[in-house]
């Protein structure tokens, strides 16, 4: 049995078919959403599940990500994700108006966003923002709407050299986990950091690209 969700002024239907979660925009009216959901359920019952296209709108996807983030992370970390999503969404609205669905986000779009950030942000902030976007898009894989994270194909800017520090337990933990691809949100949670932005002190331990991680 599917259900109807409302995000801002738009209704979405969601349902399961072939063991997978589907989400589809239904418009601004509840009656239209109810009718569409009924049609989809009839199609599934009639054995036509294979004809249903699987996608999720970005607005719906972001809402799902933030709902899970609120259940896991500190309020400061959630606000950081919210501001990152808002900034990225504004970039898409101005530069890639055709990108409304999660599957439409490509490495080229993320690369363009990085170039956009470089014009106004410091190196570390640019990298941190891309890494937060990486966390968000990784959730798309968890939901099953993505097979690959497009941000993993975008090389980070070269980290500035940092002075040698006396290794602490937290630093050693970062050195162990971050090169293995642990997301910044989860890392902040494990180290009990109140704000994910504080991971920037350890972010230089993250490989600049997927290829570097295996070298």
pLDDT in tens, 118-175: 999 999 999 999 999 999 999 998 887 887 899 999 999 998 887 776 778 888 888 8
Predicted confidence (pLDDT) per residue in 174-203, tens digit: 888 888 888 999 999 998 899 999 998 888
Residue 105 has pLDDT above 90, yes or no: yes
What number is the average pLDDT over the span 5-32?
75
Q: Which of 181, 180, 175 is nearest to 151 (CA)?
A: 181
Q: Is 195 exposed, middle or buried, given 0-12, 13-18 or 19+ CB atoms closer than 10 A? A: middle
Tokens describing residue 188: 């902040």
Q: Are 85 and 91 in contact (CB under 8 A)?
A: no
Task: Give the residue carrying structure tokens 């896991």.
Answer: 72
Q: What is the pTM of this model?
A: 0.75
């Amino acid at each position: 049995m599917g259900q109807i969700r409302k995000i801002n002024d738009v209704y979405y239907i969601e349902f399961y078919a072939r063991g997978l979660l589907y989400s589809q925009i239904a418009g601004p009216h509840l009656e239209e959403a109810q009718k569409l959901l009924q049609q989809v359920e009839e199609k599934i019952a009639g054995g036509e599940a294979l004809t249903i296209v699987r996608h999720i709108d970005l607005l719906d996807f972001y809402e799902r990500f933030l709902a899970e983030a609120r259940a896991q992370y500190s309020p400061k970390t959630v606000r950081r994700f919210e501001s990152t999503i808002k900034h990225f969404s504004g970039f898409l609205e101005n530069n890639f108006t055709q990108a409304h669905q999660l599957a439409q986000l490509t490495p080229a779009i993320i690369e363009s966003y990085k170039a956009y950030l470089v014009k106004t942000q410091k190196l570390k902030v640019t990298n941190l923002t891309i890494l937060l976007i990486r966390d968000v898009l990784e959730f798309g894989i968890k939901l099953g709407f993505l097979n690959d994270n497009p941000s993993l194909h975008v090389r980070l800017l070269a980290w500035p050299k940092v002075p040698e520090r006396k290794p602490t337990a937290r630093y050693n933990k970062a050195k162990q986990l971050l090169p293995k691809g642990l997301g910044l949100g989860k890392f902040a949670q494990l180290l009990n950091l109140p704000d994910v932005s504080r991971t920037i002190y350890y972010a230089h331990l993250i490989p600049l690209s997927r290829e570097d991680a295996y070298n």
